[in-house]
Every structure is written in structure tokens, then in C-alpha cells.
Structure 1
Amino acid sequence: MQVDRAAGDAGAFGDGRHGHGGGAPALGWLVAARVSQGGFAGILFALIPLIAMRAVRPEMAGRASALIMTLGPLGAVSGPALGGIIVGAWGWPWIFYLNLPIGALVIVIALVQMRPDGPLGAPDRTLLFETAVLGVAAAALLLGLSLSAGHGLPWLALTATAVGPLAIWWRSASSHAVRALMRTPGVAAPVSLVLLNAVTISLVEFMASFYLQRILGVSAATAGTTVLAFAVGNVVAGPIGGFLGDRWSASRTARAGVLITAVGTSLLVPLGTDWHPADVGWRLAIAGIGTGVFAGPNFALVMSNAPDALGGTAGAAQSLARQLGFSLGPALATTAWALSGYRLGGMRAGMAVAAACVLIGLLLRTRTGTVPAGRPADLGGDAPARPTRNEPADR
């Protein structure tokens, strides 16, 4: 998905040799296909955390979580480069064709390796109602954020129309599982941290790219390479964070990761006109290292503290928080920048917003983190860990 997302737009505006006509009907099919792809991707994002926690021993939860949280940035790093090569050599349709054998391989692995839980049931009226209400709210929120970034701040008012559908859903029986999850000690704070961390990541990367090109005057290629320092730091530190979460303490490791991210982000606030791309790169690398250390242990904390019956809801909550944060970050960056008349001061204000988000996260991580009685306070050290579904309780 990273590859086709990175190169799809480039291919759509490529030369006619690789394009396909069709006008509005073709566009309609494309939109329907992408909506379907996004819907099934949302299901996968919700299930992957639960599958990962059940597939490994409890004492390896941090490393398993770190692996998942590391592969995402790795795809973001490799996707644009690989997608560009494929588009240049074969044309943009191959971005999508290559997904077919990869998807088939994943299906085979799932059928062979995963134990079936039972047949799927047809969606009932409650699920259809929930899908419709949340779909309207999500469309209003994301459209408002997207249009405000490209067409002006007044479009942010569209996001307010998401409040009504969300209020209806929150008062309905459909939200019972989410409300129960958020009331579980040790869950709400880590999920909030996922949101704040995603806001910080997307805001910093968005603003750094414009700063490098508009203020320092470097090429797009140089700006892209510099911004990748964040992802490289994330990928390198992810396994370390997972190991420390298992051997030391998931809670303390997540707290350390937030602190490192706060340091790296704060160092970016005083953007200067005389900086070199390297001055931006090493600061981004520090923030990326902090995020890498934080992500896996925090992920494991949510899944460990969530009740067994709400494992899927916990995975979905993390995914939703992350995707919402990735949408909010550029919108906040654009707002701060626009209010200054698109000057350097607005970029500094945007970086300050990112630093504030991660500092709020540090406060949450420091002052919360209790878990229910009978559950491990941490996933590391000598704390007793509850067994996974695939592991006997007396092991």
C-alpha cells in the first residue's frame, strides 16, 4: 500500500503511453476500489495488534509490537523510491498489479498459519448503523482537514459537522465496547499518546519539507532525503525499544521514548535562515529515535491492559488514533503557517505546536499508567504476564 500510494498520483499524471481512458465511469470505479481497499485495510489494522499479541509469548510482546511499528516506517522509506523505479520502467498500472501476487502470498500464509475462529456472520442493523454514522463523521472531519490545507482555513469549519454524528454514535449501544475500553485503567492514556505522537510525526515532517525548500532553497530531492532522517532513526530504534520494553519495563521505555521525541522536536522550534539541511536532519533523527523507542512498548501496553474480550477494539482504537493524528498534523501545521502569512515565524509556531503535543504526551505518560488489579504493571522485568490465547495458563 505504501508503494501504490506514493506513486499513484505521479502515474495518474504521467504520459499517455501508460494511461487508460474512460472518463467519469473509470473514475467512479477507481474511487469505489480505493474505498473498498481502505475499508479492508482498516480491518487489517484493527486485527494485526491482536494477532501479534496472540502469536508470541507474553515476555516477547514488546519485541513483537516493535517489529510491527518498525515495518510501517520502513515501507514509507522504501515505497517512494521503489514506486518511482516501477513507474519509470513499466508504467503506473504496475503499482497496482504488483499487489496481486503479494496479496495472494499473504492469503496463503494466513490460511496455513492462522487458526480459524469460526465462520463470518452477516452484518446486523447495529453494525450498518454504526458504519453509516461514523462514515459521515469521518468524511466531514477528513474533508475539512484536507480542504483547509489546500484551499484555505475557512474549510476547517466543515470539521464541526462531525460532532453531531459522533454524539449520536457515542450515545448508542454501538459504542459500548469503546466506552468500556476507554474506562479500563492503563488504556486511555497510551491510546491518547498514539494520537499525539502521530500528530507530532506528521506535523514535523510536513513542516520540515516546506522549510527546507522554501527557506533554505534546497531541491526537492535534498529535502526528501533530509526528512528521511526521521524514518531512519525510527527504524533503527524500534527493535531497541522492543527489547528494552521486554527486558526492562514497557512503561518506563515508552516514557523514555516520549522524552527523547520531546527533545528532538523542541530542538526544531528555532528554525534558522542560516541552517544547513544537516542541522535539520540530526534533529529529525533524534525525534525519530524517540518515536521508535516509544512505539512498540506503548503498543504492547495497550494490548496487555485491554480485556481479552476487547482486544480487537483496542487494536482498532490504536489504528484510528494513529490515522487521525496523521490527518491532524498537516492541518495544524498549515493553520499555524497560514496565520503568519506563510512566513518563517509560522513554521516555528508549527514546530512549537508539535513540541507542545509531545510534551503533553510526556505529562500523560508520567502521571498515568496504572493497570487493573491482577494485570501486569509492566511487560518487562519480573512482573507476571497473563498468558496469550495460544499459551496454557500454567506455563
Structure 2
Amino acid sequence: MTLSPARVRILVAALLAVSFLGALDHTVVSTSLATIAGDLGALEHMSWIMVGYTLAATVMLPVLGKLGDVIGPRLVFVVSLVLFLVASLACGFAPDLGWLIAARVVQGLGSAGLQLMSQTIVARVTSPRQRPRYMAVIGAAFPIAIVVGPVVGGLITDYWSWPWVFWINLPVGLVALVLVLAAVPRLPGGAHPRFDVPGSIVFTVSLVGLILAVTWIGDDALRPAAIVCAVVAVIGILALVAIERRAAAPILPPRILRDRTILVCLGLSLVVGAGLFSVVAYVPTYVQMAYRTTATVSGLVPIATVLGMLVSSLLTGWLVSRSGRYRLYPVAGTALAALGLTAMALLPAGMPLWVPMVVMAAVGIGTGAFTNLIFAVVQSAASRDDLGAVTATTNLVRQIGAAVGTAVVGGVVGFAVAAGLPAGLDAATLTPAAARSLPETVQEGIGQVYHDVFAPVFLGLALVYACGVGIALLLPSARLSDEMPASSPPVPDRQPA
């Protein structure tokens, strides 16, 4: 469907508002987590407030992507927004943790639909050449939310009450809903009207098992449950292969995995997940301990990272839309990020804080050069009827990379720090504030331990990005087309063997 430039701009503005709403909700809640759990009397289970949201937002991606291809992305998008708003209202009225977790699961499901369908709708109404610019604008919601979310969450918690962390979504969301109903055109479904219900169920169970296994494996108390979840995931994946081979309309169409461009973009998405999210998650802890700063000051380093990412993403999207050439940016971006992380590993202890800020800004610039661009590229390689599925798969690979990368880095850091701390210090109870109250010589020793532990971690993440350079070099030297995406020819139903 071809829209006028003015209609496209209104559409992108509406999609940006909704995407920002979904991204902001995650970062706002993180600041209020301890207050919420304390008021509900469930401090020991507060992580489930985030885990439930993240699980739903991850495992539903392929299901929603396929559903968008079958019935059209507009309907999935509107329903997701309504679900998100209803769940936000329910979260604020939660009388106990069970209610809140259930509402957060529904909210995560809605958030997944908002993120995924925003990208799919842009792909349906723009040409591949136009897409990088608009994808970069919509993708700006994530880094902006990382910067402003914790501040907004803190202000709401301190000056209002924690239910408003969720209720603030309602006025913004209702305005966004009006914009969406007016701006998003009615987009028909694809040429594959059947939906793979058995494959969807088995896939969802398998992915839940995989994510829980990765999340729990580092906890001694939860390790047996993690092993059970891992076994469920393996059995589920084997069953899924058998189901999808016989399915008339598989949830993950095998044809999208036969294209070199799509496979390369999936590899780059994995690099972003495993590399960037691990850095953003643990750099504040590293800075607080190695540089002996407060939590507020330590936040300057990830802020520098995401601001570099934001500027780079917007600039890259504009440049690619002008020329149509895209191969240079993933190659140069992964190389710059690898060099930045290598520099982080080689920085001596005791450097001024602005030094790691500059280095991590370079990592953000490198990552931003391709993190949203790959969605435009992967969509250009798929037919119109597979846009939802290929976009969902790219998002899913990134989320899995983030879950695995964060779990691995967290396990390595936890084990190495515990082994390296001076006698008499317990890594489980050593907070940054407690460390700053110790004698100067002990603080220096703790800082050196964290510096020595994180140096190989940074080198490992640099290696992840270095692999990304090799992956990016496999992209074809081509231009993005000015032509609108075409439907693929109908595929005849396959009868079970």
C-alpha cells in the first residue's frame, strides 16, 4: 500500500509514540521495583515482576509475527495496544504479587505486539529504500527510554505512588490509540490463511523452558528447576522440528531461513543481543566498584553508550535511505564496537570516569550503526506475506542473545569476584555503598578485583563483535530497492505424510 509522504510521517509519529510507551514501561518499573515488592510484602519474589513481563514479550514474538501475516498487522497492533492499556490499569490496582505478575504477563504480551507490529507496519507501507530512516526513528524509542525511564520512575515513586508507574500509560496510550486508528491503514492479511496452532504451543513452551533455564542456572536453589526446564526445551525443540515439517503453514517458514541476507541479519541480531545488552546490564556495577562512584554517577557510562547508539542509528538510517547502500555500516559498526570493548579491557585502573564514557560511547556508535538497519535489510529480503514472521524472528534472536549473554556474563562475574575478594568479604552482601565505607586500601583492592574480573569479560564481548565483522562481510553488495514489497505466490497446502 502506497501512502502520501504526509500520511507516512503521521503514521511514523503514531508508531513512535506507541513504541516509546512500551519501551518506557520496562525501564520505569525497574526503578520502582523494590518499593512495589515491599508494599505487596513479596520482596523475595520481586524479580518475577520483570521476568513475567520479559517472558511474555519474548515468547509471543513468533506467534504475533505469524498472526500479523495471516490477519493483517493493523488488527494485531490495535488489540495489543488495548491489552497493554487494560493490563496497565490492572497493574496499578494489584492487591498482591500474583495479581501483579499476571497483569504484567498480559502487559508484556501487549508490548511485544506493539514493538513487532510497528516494525511490520512500516515495512508494509514503505519501500526498502525508505525503510532505514523510519526504522531508525521508531528504534529511537529504546535508547531514549533507557535514559529517561529510571528518572521518571524515581520521580513518580517518590512524589506520587507506585501505581502511577503503570497508570501514567493510560492518558498517553489513549492519545496514541486515537492516532493509531486514524493513521494506520487497513492492511490485508497474507496469502497463507492457516495458522499453526500446535507449532505455536510447542514453540512457546520450549522457549519459556529455555529462557527460564538460562535465567535460573546461576542460582544454586533454582538449579534443579533450571535443568528440568532445559530438558523440556530440548524435547520441545525436537518435537517442534517434527511438527513444522508437516505443518501446512509453519510458524517459522523454512523458506525465510534459506536466504543468505536473512541469515546474516539474524547473526547480527544475535551479536547485538549478546554484546550490547550484557554491557548495559553490568557496566554500572563495574564502574561503581572499580571507579568507586555512586549509583547515580555510574549511570553516566551506559547513558553515553545509548546516546552514541541513538545518534549513530538516526544518522545511519538517513544515509542508507539516501544512497540505498547498507553493507558498509554493519561492517564498520561491529569493528568499532569490537575496538571499543578491547579498549575497555585494556584501560588501567584509576582512569578518570570520562575515559570509559568516551570508550563506551564509541561502542554505542558502532552498535547503533546497524542495530535498527538490519530490520530494514532483513525485511527487504522477504516477501510481503512473510514480513511479520521475519521481523519476529530477528527480534526473537536478539532477545535470546540478550538472555544468554547476560546470564553468562553474570555467572562469570559472580564466580570470579567471589573467588578474588580479600578474606573476610562476602560477595553476596558486598554492595557499592558498603565497599565505600571500608578503609581506603581495602577499597583499592576491591576495585582492582573488579577491574581484573571485567577485563576478560570485555575481551570476550569484543570477540562477539569481532565475529560480527565476519558475519557482516557476508552481506551482499546491493542497494535497497525503491519498489514496494510484493506478495509471494500462494503456497499450496501440504498434506501430512
Compute the TM-score of the two structures, normalised by the length of structure 2: 0.69
SS at 1:59 equivalent: coil
Deviation at 1:326, TM superposition (A): 2.1
Deviation at 1:262, TM superposition (A): 1.7
Residue 370 in 1 paired to residue 480 in 2? Answer: no
Decide whether aligned partners of structure 1 residues 269 and 157 sit closer, same or farther in structure 2, where only a CA change above 3 A counts. Answer: farther
Residue 310 in 1 paired to residue 386 in 2? Answer: yes
The CA distance in 1 between the partners of 2:219 and 2:289, in whole Å, is: 17
Asked whether the 8 Å contact 1:197–1:357 carries over to 2, the reply is: no
1:228-247 matches, cutoff 5 A: 228-247=303-322
Asked whether the 8 Å contact 1:241–1:296 carries over to 2, the reply is: no
Asked whether the 8 Å contact 1:336–1:347 carries over to 2, the reply is: no
Residue 221 in 1 paired to residue 325 in 2? Answer: no
Say which of 17, 21, 34 aligns to 2:104: 34
Deviation at 1:95, TM superposition (A): 0.9
Asked whether the 8 Å contact 1:207–1:347 carries over to 2, the reply is: no
Decide whether aligned partners of structure 1 residues 271 and 22 sit closer, same or farther in structure 2, where only a CA change above 3 A counts. Answer: closer
Name the counterpart of 1:84.
Answer: 154
The CA distance in 2 between the partners of 1:163 and 1:238, in whole Å, is: 36
Q: RMSD over aligned Cα, in angstroms?
A: 3.0
Deviations 1:305-364 (A, max 9, x none): 112221010110121122222212221212332453364433122112211111111101
The CA distance in 2 between the partners of 1:242 and 1:363, in whole Å, is: 22
SS at 1:294 equivalent: coil
Asked whether the 8 Å contact 1:3–1:83 carries over to 2, the reply is: no
SS at 2:151 equivalent: helix
1:1-395 matches, cutoff 5 A: 1-14=22-35, 19=39, 26-117=96-187, 126-127=196-197, 129-149=198-218, 151=220, 157=227, 160-161=230-231, 162-173=233-244, 175=250, 177-248=252-323, 249-340=325-416, 341=419, 343-344=449-450, 345-366=452-473, 368-370=474-476, 377-379=478-480, 384-388=481-485
5+ unaligned residues in a row in structure 1: which ranges?
A: 372-376, 391-395
Q: Identify which of structures 1 and 2 has the higher relative contact order when contacts are C-alpha pairs closer than 8 Å and 6+ apart.
A: 1
Deviation at 1:275, TM superposition (A): 2.4
Deviation at 1:151, TM superposition (A): 5.0
Asked whether the 8 Å contact 1:3–1:95 carries over to 2, the reply is: no
Name the counterpart of 1:374.
Answer: none
Letter of the structure 2 residue corresponding to residue 364 of structure 1: I
Compute the TM-score of the two structures, normalised by the length of structure 1: 0.85
Decide whether aligned partners of structure 1 residues 203 and 119 sit closer, same or farther in structure 2, where only a CA change above 3 A counts. Answer: closer
The CA distance in 2 between the partners of 1:301 and 1:22, in whole Å, is: 45
Decide whether aligned partners of structure 1 residues 308 and 7 sit closer, same or farther in structure 2, where only a CA change above 3 A counts. Answer: closer
Letter of the structure 1 residue corresponding to residue 457 of structure 2: G
The CA distance in 2 between the partners of 1:172 and 1:82, in whole Å, is: 46
The CA distance in 2 between the partners of 1:236 and 1:327, in whole Å, is: 26
Asked whether the 8 Å contact 2:40–2:95 carries over to 1, the reply is: no
Deviation at 1:73, TM superposition (A): 1.0
Letter of the structure 2 residue corresponding to residue 245 of structure 1: V
Deviation at 1:15, TM superposition (A): 8.6
The CA distance in 1 between the partners of 2:319 and 2:188, in whole Å, is: 36
Letter of the structure 2 residue corresponding to residue 224 of structure 1: G
Asked whether the 8 Å contact 1:199–1:327 carries over to 2, the reply is: yes
Asked whether the 8 Å contact 1:63–1:246 carries over to 2, the reply is: yes
The CA distance in 1 between the partners of 2:335 and 2:362, in whole Å, is: 10
Deviation at 1:115, TM superposition (A): 2.1
Deviation at 1:271, TM superposition (A): 4.5
Letter of the structure 1 residue corresponding to residue 395 of structure 2: S
The CA distance in 2 between the partners of 1:28 and 1:234, in whole Å, is: 37
Letter of the structure 1 residue corresponding to residue 354 of structure 2: A
Q: How many residues align?
A: 376
Decide whether aligned partners of structure 1 residues 333 and 152 sit closer, same or farther in structure 2, where only a CA change above 3 A counts. Answer: farther
Letter of the structure 2 residue corresponding to residue 178 of structure 1: P
Letter of the structure 2 residue corresponding to residue 268 of structure 1: M
Deviation at 1:246, TM superposition (A): 2.0
The CA distance in 2 between the partners of 1:262 and 1:297, in whole Å, is: 18
